[in-house]
């Protein structure tokens, strides 16, 4: 696709408003493997360089690639995602998307089940939630590494499963072996475009609160509506060594000079009383140590037990997905993924209902409601 006069101007103004020269050069190099010096004139001011860069991409019909990179770096900026949908480029943003971008009407068919979802809002919410999620590597006393997923619930607070961090919970000297990797990204060809940034746990008292899994979690139960122990919620709340949620995110985020570079943030939207007997579910995860993936299940919630302690659903997860946040279609947090059907032909995956974790943490002096 090629853009014309008014579109060229709109894109140029959005770039000038959102990026500093160093930030733009870094984004092009890291995300597209293209040097700014190749695509833009070296003479003149930054506005002329941006205009020349857009012309270079436009001549090659690569505007979708450019917008993909810009949106990934500035997901808080509505202007880039809005242009993408107005120009029919939305699908090109995500790994596994067709080579030829779909129109907006085609995209809506991907989420065209009740309730209807605004695509632009949906993708922005997905990006906002995704940058709060990390891959966890925890090494035990024998040097064996266990992988899982975790997510920010405060500027330096991370939530995951107890069983992911069990070694460090039982022996806090192993907490220094825990590595939380944010922003691990690949492109649609599987090439790493961002190796991610690693953060460790706080040096002193990193384990703030925890609740072990039940025997039913460990071994599985074909019956959902059983007596799940109220004191066994399979979670761990830990403190990170840095206030990661208040740091800038993305490629070279820590060194960004742009005022538009947003802080990472953390998950604050918690479903107060979600309908757990049916509905939609979104699981953001790092399956099998891989870069971040998302599993979207419309009408894939199977149900919950009578006390709403466990939630079952039929969307895909893998080893390494433990500790992933589960959301409804409005990106309200509804569950902490912790296990699945142990049978070879699995029929369900399962999570701990978010409300029960929030209640248990409140009893221990920790509030997750906008912390």
Question: Which pLDDT tens digit goes with each residue over 40-94?
Answer: 887 789 999 999 999 999 998 888 888 878 887 887 667 787 787 667 654 333 3
Residues 75 and 149 occupy one common structural domain = no
Under a CB-based contact definition with an 8 Å cutoff, are residues 78 and 128 in contact?
A: no
Q: What CATH number does residue 326 fall under?
A: 2.40.10.120
Contact 168, 207 (CB under 8 A): yes
189 and 60 within one domain: no
Q: Lowest-pLDDT range, 13-17, 28-32, 115-119, 259-263?
A: 115-119
Q: Are residues 101 and 246 in the same domain?
A: no
Compute the mean pLDDT over every residue in the chain, rounded to the nearest whole number: 85
Q: What average pLDDT does the segment 305-311 reach?
A: 94
pLDDT the model gives residue 122: 83
- Residues 359 and 316 sit within 8 Å (Cβ to Cβ): no
Residues 19 and 101 in one domain: yes
Q: What angle do CA 368, 370, 371 make, to 5 degrees?
A: 60
**217-270 residue pLDDT tens:** 999 888 899 999 999 999 999 999 999 999 988 766 666 666 666 889 999 999
* Range(s) of the domain holding residue 331: 130-363
Which of helix, strand or coil describes residue 72?
helix
Of 112, 138, 169, the position where a domain reaches its end is 112
50-65 per-position pLDDT tens digit: 999 999 999 988 888 8
Q: Evaluate whether residue 117 is within a structural domain.
A: no
Q: Residue 117 has what pLDDT?
A: 67
Residues 258 and 326 in one domain: yes
Check pLDDT > 50 for residue 99.
no
**Cα gap 15→7, rounded to integer Å:** 12
Give the chain's domain count: 2
């Amino acid at each position: 696709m090629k853009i014309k006069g008014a579109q060229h101007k709109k894109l140029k103004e959005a770039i000038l408003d959102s990026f500093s020269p160093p930030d733009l050069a870094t984004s092009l190099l890291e995300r597209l493997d293209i040097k700014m010096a190749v695509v833009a004139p070296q003479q003149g001011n930054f506005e002329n360089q941006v205009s020349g860069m857009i012309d270079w991409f436009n001549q090659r019909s690569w505007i979708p690639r450019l917008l993909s990179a810009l949106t990934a770096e500035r997901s808080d900026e509505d202007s880039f995602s809005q242009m993408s949908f107005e120009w029919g480029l939305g699908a090109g943003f995500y790994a596994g998307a067709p080579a030829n971008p779909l129109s907006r009407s085609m995209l809506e068919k991907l989420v065209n089940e009740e309730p209807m979802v605004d695509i632009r809002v949906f993708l922005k919410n997905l990006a906002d939630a995704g940058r709060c999620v990390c891959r966890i590597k925890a090494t035990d006393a024998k040097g064996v590494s266990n992988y899982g997923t975790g997510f920010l619930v405060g500027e330096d607070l991370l939530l995951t499963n107890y069983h992911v961090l069990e070694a460090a919970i039982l022996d806090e000297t192993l907490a220094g072996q825990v590595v939380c990797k944010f922003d691990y990204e690949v492109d649609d060809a599987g090439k790493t475009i961002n190796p991610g940034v690693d953060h460790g746990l706080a040096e002193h008292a990193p384990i703030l609160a925890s609740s072990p899994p039940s025997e039913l979690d460990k071994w599985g139960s074909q019956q959902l509506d059983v007596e799940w122990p109220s004191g066994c919620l399979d979670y761990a709340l830990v403190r990170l060594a840095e206030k990661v949620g208040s740091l800038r995110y993305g490629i070279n985020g820590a060194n960004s000079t742009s005022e538009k570079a947003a802080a990472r943030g953390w998950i604050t939207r918690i479903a107060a009383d979600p309908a757990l007997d049916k509905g939609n579910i979104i699981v953001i995860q790092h399956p099998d140590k891989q870069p971040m993936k998302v599993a979207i299940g419309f009408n894939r919630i199977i149900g919950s037990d009578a006390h709403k302690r466990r939630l079952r659903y039929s969307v895909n997860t893998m080893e390494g997905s433990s500790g992933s946040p589960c959301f409804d279609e409005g990106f309200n947090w509804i569950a902490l993924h912790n296990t699945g059907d142990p049978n070879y032909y699995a029929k369900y995956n399962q999570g701990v209902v978010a409300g029960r974790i929030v209640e248990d943490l409140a009893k221990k002096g920790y509030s997750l409601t906008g912390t």
